[in-house]
Amino acid sequence: MSIAYADVIVDLQQGDSGKGKIANALCKMNDYTHVIRYNGGNNAGHTIYHNGKKIVTHAIPIGVVHGIKSIIGSGCVVNAEHFFNELRELQNAGVQTAGLVFIAANAHVITDEHLAEDRQDNVIGTTKRGNGPAYRDKYARKGIRAMDVPQLQPFIIDLYEELHRSPNRMARILFEGAQGFGLDIDWGNYPYVTSSHCTVGGAILNGVPPQAIRDVWGVAKIYETYVGAKSFEPPDAIFKKIRELGNEYGATTGRPRQCNWLDLGTLKKAVDINGVNKVVFNKMDIMSQIGEWRLYDDQGQTRSYDSEDAMKRYIYEELPNVKQIVWSDNPNGF
């Protein structure tokens, strides 16, 4: 095997947990040779701050900002026009992209027909980026793969050749996930889900054996957010406050995110199913400003704590197999 190891980032909630920030921090801390986006399309939005500049990517992995080969994996769907726009935006922000950005040959493409169809959605509350129809056609065996699109030719890469057959190199991979456990096609709250695999299983579908996995980083916020058609936010005014203080508006669509207390029961399930050994809780600063410490336990009961420390102690007890928990309120990294 020519893979040294692969770290995987999974979102333990409904997306928007701050994966981009963690990917950025891990790129600085490790000597990765590849960053691979393993699922989804440009329905995602990953925001990072690089040299003081805000950069939002939707399809291209954040590794490119660090000069690391960045690949849109075989588990993804790609909108070619959007891809070229995003490449241009990165270049305009001063990011070197030449020779660094690739698309897996067997990734599928999002067509204008997919987009037109998704724009009609009024049941799921999709991002209207054509994801569902593109994945449907992939599985119906009538999709178009990236390797068959002439304008994408300069960016096409064969993941098997790249990761297993390149001489003199042991690949060190970071898998960057999109969306999250609650939106996963199999484990999420169906049908209010996305159309791809957001779990660690989705990462290894990109041509990497399970033995290569080193760390599985689970990313969460200290409260929940969700964007889509179902009702998620309780009527209490405090959730409006969390939305304003936390600036909980979609990076892709600008839609307000519905807010709720941390759902520790579902988070534990996501930790177990993904084999998560490291967890990051983001936005601790927002909860400090709110000044209330609450969560739902695995019986769905609300629990309240007198202090941040008391709630942290409970979370540690509930996640005994997790080796490391990082409590983060730093927008730039851990």
Q: How far is the CB of 47 from ligand IMP (least distance, A)?
A: 11
Considering only residues 159-178, where is the footprint of ligand IMP by CB under 6 A?
178
Active-site entry in 7, 11, 16, 215: 16
Rounded least distance, CB 119 to ligand IMP, Å: 11
Q: Decide if 224 contacts 259 (C-beta within 8 A).
A: yes
Is 126 a binder of ligand IMP (CB under 6 A)? yes
Active site (annotated) includes residue 16: yes
For Mg ion, the closer CB: 20 or 207: 20
Sole binder of ligand IMP in the list 24, 74, 131, 282 (CB under 6 A): 131
Residues in region 22-51 near Mg ion by CB under 5 A: 45
User: What residues numbered 2-21 form the site for Mg ion, per CB under 5 A?
Assistant: 16
Dmax (CA) for the chain in angstroms is 60
- Among 8, 12, 25, 44, contact with ligand IMP (rule: CB under 6 A): 44
β 171-176/223-226 pair status: unpaired
Question: Residue 227 and residue 13: Cα distance in Å, rounded?
Answer: 11
Structure tokens at 95: 């990011």
The dihedral sign for the CA sequence 86, 180, 189, 294: negative
What's the burial of 194, exposed, middle or buried (CB within 10 Å: 0-12/13-18/19+)?
buried
Give the interface segment with ligand IMP, choosing from 47-55, 78-86, 192-200, 266-274 (CB under 6 A): 192-200
Residue 183 or residue 267: which is nearer to ligand IMP going by CB? 183
> Smallest Cα–Cα separation from 182: which of 7, 10, 4?
10
Nearest distance from C-beta of residue 244 to ligand IMP, angstroms = 19
Site pattern 45..84 for Mg ion (x: CB under 5 A): x---------------------------------------
Of the residues 132, 177, 182, 201, which one makes contact with ligand IMP according to CB under 6 A: 132
By CB under 6 A, tell whether 129 contacts ligand IMP.
Answer: yes
Note whether 83 and 104 are within 8 A (CB): no
Task: HSE, CB side, 13 Å, CA atoms: give it for residue 40.
Answer: 32
φ, ψ of residue 13 to 5 degrees: the values are -125, -135
Angstrom distance (rounded) from CA 108 to CA 111 = 10
Torsion angle defined by CA atoms of residues 29, 87, 97 and 247, in that order, rounded to the nearest 10 degrees = -20
Closest residue to bound ligand IMP by CB: 228
Q: Has 66 been annotated as catalytic?
A: no
- Total of residues contacting ligand IMP (CB under 6 A): 20
What is the H or E stretch that residue 285 is in? Answer: helix 284-290
Q: Does 124 bind ligand IMP (CB under 6 A)?
A: yes
Give the DSSP per-residue string, 55-95: EEESSS-GGGGGT-EEEE-TTBEE-HHHHHHHHHHHHHTT-
* Residue numbers at the binding site for ligand IMP (CB under 6 A): 15-16, 43-45, 124-127, 129, 131-132, 178-179, 183, 192, 194-195, 227-228
Active-site residues, by number, are 16, 46
